[in-house]
Structure 1
């Protein structure tokens, strides 16, 4: 059932057996067989097959709303069973996305993982969608134990904590066709006459400080407030509209048609391990290992 649910979700998203098959690295015939088995098991048609692709029936639309939850609960149940069977082995679930890649943590862990064979890392993907991200961050501790990324808003204080690993610098990103795209560095004054998108989906003292600094000292820059969290759509819209984007140096390679340029803004934002207010014992042990590693690195 796990495989069938995953296949159904891909078919529903793709609207095509062949496209779903490409994502799953199986044949279209295998996808069709899985869907036939799923419909037989449920007892009602979920899909309408046409020459132009696949559409969901009304029952399929209803089922699609719950399929992801079914799959998630199933995977979590399997994880709990495996953890119980493994006894002393601890699985640490790390969330990852395009804007919040977990490579920083993996690079750290790979240096010392041989010393702690009882810990295993499980990567859990999530989407960078400004409308679902607030809920995603609130589920840290449920669906995954950590997210590795910048601490973008003080609104998170009620739900999570940060083990800081470092800081990111703010930069400006422009379309490759923009007049400033060939610059190696940018001064704030280079943006005079430009529109600057400032993303702030919550209470961020750092981002608000940047906004106030620019408004007070550089009124020739037109500030476009974007009251949401950073997501891929923000990068797409700035590239399409020619608006300059206030971004982070860590996101230099996010969008192939945007150029991220260092600037003279003297502002940074902390990044690190975002974890729940009340972490499990396994997570606490893992945190202590990372803290000890940091301490040793600072003392050398």
Structure 2
């Protein structure tokens, strides 16, 4: 039987194109990645990669396993979530989705606030992988396997994710840089420092504030080099660290990466941060929202 951990390493290696890049993304050593791939090839009795100096290329067997493996991992994750939540879905259990980038601290803080009014309420943490595909699944499962997650609550983002949201706080938008970057020790930086930098910025149409920042930077500094990306995850964090580039972000998104440091910006851009849930919220979500607003 295929080891799911090895299978996940195989798929990550195929996506990254090299064992080294896969090891960086998974925070393990390249030798550990290679050992897992070797073990998987032994389990399956076939060669999965052509290993060349240019990188990795899937064999015919590898392409087949890659396609089926993604389905298998997705099914296994959903099976685990369903098993975990099957006996827990009640009016007094709030299932909160979390990932390395999507924390649950805001929910637990709110839970402590409303505890006197709802002492029976329990919080169940449902972990998920922070990949574009998994996050799509999470938003589609809101109200089914997961009751809510934390995130950005501006109208553009809610429409993009097809969910509802309740803002709880405004959080500042700042920048993150690697520990090798000249700005790493700055207490605060003005927007002018971005003029000569490679700046990673969320692509247009996904978040109101990021779109305004893009417009203002390009208008004021037309020579600025903006690099688009579609998703706040380890891949873009690793690229910024490797390229010594600047990432426009909030503290919530980069806390999962130990080699990036937040630098405060001298501007007034903020985003509404709060709770995201189904457009047809359940009675317990409506009760929770009502209590936190009191």
Is 1:206–2:209 an aligned residue pair? yes
- Whole-Å Cα distance in 1 between the matches of residues 78 and 134 of structure 2? 16
- Could you report, residue by residue, the CA deviation over 1:46-84 in whole angstroms, capped at 9, with x for unpaired residues? xxxx9953445389985773365256346536644555x
Question: Residue 146 of structure 2 aligns to a residue in which SS?
Answer: coil
- Whole-Å Cα distance in 2 between the matches of residues 63 and 258 of structure 1? 32
TM-score normalised over the length of structure 2: 0.73
Q: Provide closer, same or farther for how the CA distance between residues 63 and 222 of structure 1 changes in structure 2, counting only shifts above 3 A.
A: closer
Residues 165, 276 of structure 2: 8 Å contact kept: yes
RMSD: 3.2
Is 1:170–2:173 an aligned residue pair? yes
Instruction: In structure 1, list runs of 5 or more residues that go unmatched.
Output: 16-49, 293-300
- Whole-Å Cα distance in 2 between the matches of residues 153 and 98 of structure 1? 24
Is 1:113–2:135 an aligned residue pair? no
- Whole-Å Cα distance in 1 between the matches of residues 268 and 100 of structure 2? 26
Is 1:53–2:55 an aligned residue pair? no
Q: Provide closer, same or farther for how the CA distance between residues 165 and 116 of structure 1 changes in structure 2, counting only shifts above 3 A.
A: same
Q: Provide closer, same or farther for how the CA distance between residues 77 and 195 of structure 1 changes in structure 2, counting only shifts above 3 A.
A: closer
Instruction: Give the aligned length.
Output: 249
Question: Residue 285 of structure 1 aligns to a residue in which SS?
Answer: helix
TM-score normalised over the length of structure 1: 0.71
Equivalent runs, 1:1-300 vs 2, <5 Å? 8-10=3-5, 12-13=7-8, 53-55=39-41, 56-57=43-44, 62=68, 65-66=71-72, 68-69=74-75, 72-73=78-79, 75-76=81-82, 79-81=85-87, 83=89, 90-113=92-115, 115-151=117-153, 154-157=156-159, 159-200=162-203, 202-226=205-229, 228-251=230-253, 253-292=255-294
Q: Provide closer, same or farther for how the CA distance between residues 114 and 13 of structure 1 changes in structure 2, counting only shifts above 3 A.
A: farther
Match of residue 32 from structure 1: none
**Deviates most, 119-128 or 280-289:** 280-289
- Could you report, residue by residue, the CA deviation over 1:133-165 in whole angstroms, capped at 9, with x for unpaired residues? 234323222220101122367153272111111
Offset of residue 195 of structure 1: 1.5
Q: Tell me which structure has the larger Cα radius of gyration.
A: 1
- Whole-Å Cα distance in 2 between the matches of residues 51 and 251 of structure 1? 31
- Could you report, residue by residue, the CA deviation over 1:102-132 in whole angstroms, capped at 9, with x for unpaired residues? 1111122124335423322110111221344
